[in-house]
Amino acid sequence: MKTDSPVIDISKINRNRFLLLSTKAFVKQEGEKFNIFLQGRLNIVKIAKNNFIQEWNYSLERFRVFSYPLVKQNCFVVAAEDSPNLFNNETEVLMFSLDDFKFKRIANVSYFVFSINSEDFNRDGREDLLLTGYDPRLDLGKITLLENTSEGFRKAFECAIGNKTFDAFVSDVNKDSYPDFVVLTTFSCQEILQIFVNKYPNFEKRE
């Protein structure tokens, strides 16, 4: 299978369907200046008879760069930055159905999101979303927890840490049956692992 834009992530949906995230660069002339822009693209392909068949593809009308997606059983979640100018960004968190590929906007944040994780942090039976990313205006890493409520997602916790926050993984660090999380962040050119212990709705930061 050939694509016209470099694939930077492949996520498995099921045994023969995969979600591809790619970013295409192109040049736009503005007066006498030439600027390079990126546009994120999403594709779902399936394997049939030793061949890849494109089932669905998507890119937004404006310049967008997508975060690494989170694939669930019947949907996937991705964050989309709405401007080629990092200092003016407003990022939307989008949830796509894997049945009809329609999406809904579930949250907005004012920084670029690198990754999305999910877990039921408050043990109410609903999976919440944990976003990690970077605010270029303040040169800060950012973490946001979106609580899944009966009325939709709401910001339950937000924290600035380091210069960039690339990813997080969820684990019950202190063995109290409540999920904690660990983030990878950078500070002064050093990479740091930071533990956040679940004291819902707050999280206690530990070295």
CATH number, domain of 108, equals 2.130.10.10
Three-state SS string over 107-162 comes to EEECCEEEEEEEECCCCCCCCEEEEEEEECCCCEEEEEEEEEECCEEEEEEEEEEC
Q: Using the 8-state DSSP alphabet, how is residue 79 labeled?
A: E
Mean pLDDT within 196-200: 96
Q: Is residue 47 part of a domain?
A: no
The rounded distance, in Å, linking the Cα atoms of 110 and 203 is 21
Domain assignment of residue 123, given as a range: 61-206
Q: pTM for the full model?
A: 0.89
Query: What is the count of structural domains for the chain?
Result: 1
pLDDT digits (tens, 9 = 90+) for 97-122: 999 999 999 999 999 899 999 999 99
Q: Is residue 39 part of a domain?
A: no
Confidence of residue 166 (pLDDT cuts 50, 70, 90): confident
